[in-house]
Amino acid sequence: MSVTAQSVWNNCLEFIKDNIQPQAYKTWFEPIVAVKLTGAALSIQVPSKFFYEWLEEHYVKILKVSLTKELGETAKLVYIIRMENTYGNKQPFTEKIPSSNRSAVKSQNVDIPLNNKSPELRNPFVIPGIRNVKIESQLNPNYSFENFLEGDSNRLARSAGLAVAAKPGGTSFNPLLIFGGVGLGKTHLAHAIGVDIKDKYPEKTVLYISAEKFTQQYIDAVKKNNRNDFIHFYQIIDVLIIDDVQFLSGKTGTQDVFFHIFNHLHQNGKQVILTSDKAPVDMQDIEQRLLSRFKWGLSAELQNPDFETRVSILKNKLYRDGVEMPEDIIDYVAKNIKSNVRELEGAIISLIAQSSFNKKEITIDLARVIVEKFVKNTKREVSIDYIQKVVSDYFQMDIDTLQSKTRKRHIVQARQIAMFFAKKYTKASLASIGSQIGKRDHATVLHACKTVDNLSSTDKQFKKYVEDITKKLSV
């Protein structure tokens, strides 16, 4: 029997089917079409970029194992993304991406509509073959409100998002700025707003873009003498979502052009949604006039989710993946990974992978090993900025106050505590700590560290401050 793409793929499917949950198989493998076999390279067609990312993220190992079984060590998988654009234009665009090696995949530009293949098209988002300008929203449909579980940590941001989605441009939340630490759901929520708007107002032009990509596009536009096209393009958008605006810091040219685009959109009742890893007050190297615009609307913070929310996020994820897991294990993971939803999901994914590839049962012991690895590997380095933020939040003052020249006792103490933790948790020198915390010299920092040591052993209240902050810094 001759080996064809179909026969190879059928054998892979048989293997995969035996090794994953039926629901997951149905969702993620049945829609795939085997297209071509060239030597040891099998091309499969998937319905969307999201689909491809999902496969790479969740099933790359099993794909690899099954393909290697069929085609040997040199086996390669090529994805062909074939999607019909959102406007019902049946002309699909396709993109080929090799599998497996995450970094190789990343370094390619896989954002299909962005990847402008026909050089005569000036506008980076115009879909070939359509006369009117249609803009692909770049939204990930899986990042929906439905999948964004509510908890105390995100209630304000989530409801503000819903309000904006109900009446884009028509609320006082314009811009809506969502801010918070890494992996807490900023990108997800930003997409959810866009997805919901597209649902309710299909005629509206919605665009999601990262500040980084926006910057690259702008630089390209300037190089090609297309600055005006670039600006015009952004000015026709109804809902502009820019992710990770902190990336614009220090980039004055891009800030400048964004300022103009922002003003135009705002004046015309268009909605702007921004995300950032910092509150506007803490953003550095962003022009004042832009910062003041950011503050026009609403800034809503995403905080660390509490235990219940973490459990529901995990359950929802397992449910969507079609995987069952004992309650006590879910609890264990939720209890031990506290500060970042992405890590929470990552740990559960590793757990599922470990158990299915090594055919081990999911037990608390296995969970412990994996969670430990996760927590250790991802423990982030604490920065002096972060310490100042935690300390000033704790004492309910802003960072400027913490750094000010005042001799008021409670402020001096807060500052000394910040210095003490900076010495303890970072590798920065006394001089550098001093210069970052209110422009003091190294002797002041040294004195602060000694004072905190002394007071911690003599003053009960003070000791409690230090303990509380230690906890906050080590979550």
Which of residues 104, 182, 281, 443 is near ligand ADP by CB under 6 A?
A: 182
Assigned token pair, 241: 């979502």
Alpha helices in 124-225 (DSSP H): 155-166, 186-200, 211-223
Q: Which residue number, 70 or 243, has a Cβ lying nearer to ligand ADP?
A: 243
Q: Which residue number, 192 or 414, has a Cβ lying nearer to ligand ADP?
A: 192
* CB 280 to ligand ADP: min, Å: 16
**Sheet arrangement for strand 76-83:** 33-38, 41-46, 76-83, 93-98
Q: Which residue number, 345 or 398, has a Cβ lying nearer to ligand ADP?
A: 345
Asked whether position 208 contacts ligand ADP by CB under 6 A, the answer is no
Binder of residue 184, out of ligand ADP, Mg ion, none (CB less than 5 to 8 A by kind)? ligand ADP
Asked whether position 347 contacts ligand ADP by CB under 6 A, the answer is no
Q: Which residue number, 243 or 321, has a Cβ lying nearer to Mg ion?
A: 243
Taking CB under 6 A as the binding criterion, the range among 23-31, 127-135, 146-154, 209-217 that sits at the site for ligand ADP is 146-154
Q: Which residue number, 15 or 50, has a Cβ lying nearer to ligand ADP?
A: 50
* CB 65 to ligand ADP: min, Å: 25
- b/e sequence 221-257, b meaning 16+ C-beta within 10 Å: beeeebeeebbebbeebbbbbbbbbbbbbebeebbeb
110: amino acid identity, one letter = V
Q: Which residue number, 95 or 243, has a Cβ lying nearer to ligand ADP?
A: 243
Q: Which residue number, 348 or 422, has a Cβ lying nearer to ligand ADP?
A: 348
Degrees, nearest 5: CA angle 453-454-456:
65
Helix-strand-coil split of the chain, %, nearest 5? 55, 10, 35
Residue 35 near residue 41, CB atoms below 8 Å: no
Which of residues 169, 185, 280, 438 is near ligand ADP by CB under 6 A?
A: 185
Asked whether position 246 contacts ligand ADP by CB under 6 A, the answer is no
Q: Which runs of E-coded beta strand occur in 23-171?
A: 33-38, 41-46, 76-83, 93-98
The answer for 342, left when phi > 0, alpha when psi is -120 to 50, beta otherwise, is: alpha
Which of residues 79, 148, 395, 465 is near ligand ADP by CB under 6 A?
A: 148
Residue 178 near residue 277, CB atoms below 8 Å: no
* CB 191 to ligand ADP: min, Å: 8
Asked whether position 187 contacts Mg ion by CB under 5 A, the answer is yes
Assigned token pair, 353: 């992978």
Asked whether position 140 contacts Mg ion by CB under 5 A, the answer is no
* Pairing mode, strands 239-243 and 206-210: parallel
Q: Which residue is nearest to Mg ion (CB)?
A: 187
C-alpha distance across the termini of the chain, in Å: 59
Asked whether position 85 contacts Mg ion by CB under 5 A, the answer is no
* CB 190 to Mg ion: min, Å: 8
Size of the site for Mg ion (CB under 5 A): 2
Binder of residue 271, out of Mg ion, ligand ADP, none (CB less than 5 to 8 A by kind)? none
Q: Which residue number, 24 or 77, has a Cβ lying nearer to ligand ADP?
A: 24
Which of residues 86, 123, 147, 451 is near ligand ADP by CB under 6 A?
A: 147
Asked whether position 254 contacts Mg ion by CB under 5 A, the answer is no
Cα distance between residue 437 and residue 469, in whole Å:
17
Asked whether position 346 contacts ligand ADP by CB under 6 A, the answer is no
Q: Which of 411, 408, 405, 413 is nearest to 459 (CA)?
A: 413
Binding residues (CB under 6 A) for ligand ADP: these are 147-149, 154, 180, 182-188, 313, 341-342, 345
